[in-house]
Amino acid sequence: MAKRRFGLDNRETWWGDPQDDPKRRGPRSWRWPIVALAFLLPFLVPVTRSLLAGPGVTVEAVVTGVVIYAYSLCYLVFPLFSGRERRRRLAFGIGMNVLGLATLATTSASAFVLLYGTAVVVFLVAPAWAVIIDVTAVLAGVVILLAEGRFLEDYGDLITVASVTLAMFFMGNLVRAVRRLERANEEIATLAVANERERLARDLHDLLGHSLTTITVKAGLARRVLESAGDIPRAVEEIREVEGLTRSALSDVRATVSEYREVSLSAELVGARAALRAAEIDADLPHAVDNVRPEFQNTFGYVLREAVTNVLRHSGAKRVRVRLGGNWLEIEDDGTATGVVAGNGLRGLSERLAAIGGTLTTSVRAGGGLLVRAEIALPEPNPATPAVRAEPAGGLA
């Protein structure tokens, strides 16, 4: 899948269409005709002189001139076909090579004249088609030279045509490979940006969702205390905790953006106990996290935070129970939920766990409420090194 995405599939590379790249840069500027004329003059000057020195205007001379100049014109304008559909480029490449063979057959030009057509095909069509067309053109050139009795005289030029065409073939494929790598790098950069956005969205959801929910619960508790009992000291204490939570949330947001924030499972337990107490939910939480493997505590901190946030927001629970193991965490509530709704928070937790080989499962309890279990696979132990029995000094007894 990745190979095909980045254009590195073997079949796509060999039979694929390199001209389909919308950012392809071809020789379409005004400089190309000047360069092309510089290459064509060594061929056109002697052939034109030979035609002018002929017996006069004859049908054969006219046909020969049309073939020669049509062939030269194709070389001048071939960049205009680089952005066309595949069938037109194939037709143009085949037609140009046919004109090259006709030029070889109707003039005294050397076999080197075939190079214009074979070179154009290398850069105009896919590699497989270039091999088929160019090999056919060279073999047809051999037949023409043999039929005219010029093979021994011009076979060196024919070998030069084949060698130069082969070199240009590899150069053209190198250029295409570089372009595919450029597109792959652009796509990798795009994916990196998308992944970073997903990370920020996930972290901010986990962070702000929990913090704002806890702040809402504590602010509501302070309001109820003032309205019902008028217990100003307790209300002030709750408001002081809200102020601390807002400062902590602001600090976490800054650290999240900088990718330096670390979540502590023990700190999340303390925060969960305070948030559940403020919501008047009975919390059965562990008092220590020593039994959890250290490398898993950061991830389980995120799981605990999101699960407690969901309890505060949606569950309507009166009791929450949290259990910890070396590589697992369970959060159970007695709320009114009768089905599992996979929101952004649970989806983000699943992605976070999957990245380290873990799973998140959510199920409905028999009497109502949810059971959320996060588990991370333990690394396989290294095979034990076989013990080596030491022999007593002096060899065997």
Domains of the chain with bracketed CATH: 2-189 (no CATH), 281-378 (3.30.565.10)
Helix (H, G, I), strand (E, B) or coil at 395: coil
Nearest-angstrom CA–CA distance, 162 and 119: 10
Determine the Cα–Cα distance for residues 372 and 354; give it in Å rounded to an integer: 15
Mean pLDDT across 114-126: 88
The predicted-structure confidence for 321-357, as pLDDT tens digits, reads as follows 999 998 999 999 888 776 666 666 777 788 888 888 8
Question: Is 264 within 8 Å of 231 (Cβ atoms)?
Answer: no
Encoding tokens for residue 46? 């002697």
Instruction: State the number of CA atoms in the 13 A half-sphere of 69 facing the CB.
Output: 8
Mean pLDDT of 85-89: 86
Say yes or no to pLDDT of 276 above 50: yes
Listed in sequence order, the residues at least 6 apart from 108 whose beta carbon sits closer than 8 Å to its beta carbon are 47, 50
Q: Are the beta carbons of 144 and 124 closer than 8 angstroms?
A: no
Please, which pLDDT band fits residue 395 given cuts at 50, 70 and 90?
very low
In the predicted structure, residue 26 carries a pLDDT above the cut 60 = no
Average pLDDT over residues 302-318: 83
Do 92 and 136 form a contact (C-beta atoms < 8 A)? no
- Max intra-chain CA distance, the chain: 123
The residue type found at 361 is: T
Q: Has residue 1 got a pLDDT over 50?
A: no
Please compute the mean of the pLDDT values over residues 158-178 and round it to a whole number: 87
Confidence of residue 208 (pLDDT cuts 50, 70, 90): low
Cα distance between residue 262 and residue 252, in whole Å = 9
Beta strands 319-324 and 282-284 are parallel
Q: What is the mean pLDDT of residues 270-297?
A: 85
**What's 107's DSSP letter?**
S
Token readout for 248 is 């902590």
pLDDT at 29: 57
Cα 100 from Cα 313, distance rounded (Å): 79
Determine if residue 14 is left, alpha or beta; phi over 0 gives left, psi from -120 to 50 gives alpha, anything else beta. Answer: alpha
- pLDDT recorded at residue 328: 92
The kind and range of the H/E element at 153 are helix 151-228
Q: Is 120 left (phi over 0), alpha (psi -120 to 50) or beta?
A: alpha
Q: Please give the DSSP secondary-structure letter assigned to residue 114.
A: G
Query: What is the sign of the dihedral through the CA atoms of 320, 376, 354 and 259?
Result: positive
